[in-house]
Amino acid sequence: MIINPQQYQQGLELFNSLYGDGAGEALRSDMADLCPDFTDISIEWAMGGILARPGLDLITRELVVIAACVTLGHATPQLRAHAQAALNAGASKEQIIESILQILFYAGGAAVRNALVNIRDIVGKSNQ
């Protein structure tokens, strides 16, 4: 259920730029038979409403989300997606790793180690 089509379109464009062309449609098809509103809400509100706000650049926003995913400890698919999005936004491998290490004493050693292992293939292929 799209409430603001302009915000949805802005969110979809940002979503596709960070996660790859067609990423919005992939999310939509993944949720189509379960909860299609989740896709609309995610793209319109999270991407078009929050991520597109002024005040922080995209790299900083992605690093914050990475840290949150590590702290949660159970958001591995989201951690991986946001690590790739951070690279796509221009973050370096070092920035991503430092963001994860920064929360060692807040999220715990196990959460930080698991996060590093789970993004190894993503940041390992980065030349940044």
- Residue ranges making up the domain that contains 45: 5-51
> Which H or E run contains 92?
none
Residue 109: which CATH number? 1.20.1290.10
Residue 128 has pLDDT above 70, yes or no: no
Residue 116: alpha-carbon gap to chain centroid? 15
Q: What is the pLDDT of residues 58-104, one digit of tens each?
A: 999 999 999 999 999 999 999 999 999 999 999 999 999 999 999 99
Residues 18 and 76 in one domain: no
87 lies in the same domain as 114: yes
Q: Are residues 71 and 47 in the same domain?
A: no
**Cβ distance 76 to 85 under 8 Å?**
no
Model confidence, pTM: 0.88
Q: What confidence score (pLDDT) does residue 112 get?
A: 98
